[in-house]
Amino acid sequence: MIRKYRLLKNISQEELAEEINISWRQIQRIEQNEDKTRITTFRKIVKALNIPDNEIIDFIKK
């Protein structure tokens, strides 16, 4: 989901990471489901990418 919305916004992992002040490697791990994300980081990503609430709920249910 995060990768999908990042690509729709047409920004790189590096740009997203810089925008929310984390490493691009962390973005990469999050997108590949290799890393559990803190809720504060997840909220920053959701806000930066304007992810709709229904998408977030579907993502959390999985």
Q: Cβ distance 2 to 49 under 8 Å?
A: yes
Q: What is the pTM assigned to this prediction?
A: 0.82
Give the C-alpha separation, 56 to 46, whole Å: 8
What residue segments make up the domains of the chain, in order of their start? 2-61
For residue 41, the model assigns a pLDDT of: 93
Enter the CATH code of domain 2-61. Answer: 1.10.260.40
22-59 tens-digit pLDDT: 999 999 999 998 878 899 999 999 999 999 999 888 87
Give the C-alpha separation, 25 to 60, whole Å: 22
Q: Cβ distance 45 to 2 under 8 Å?
A: yes
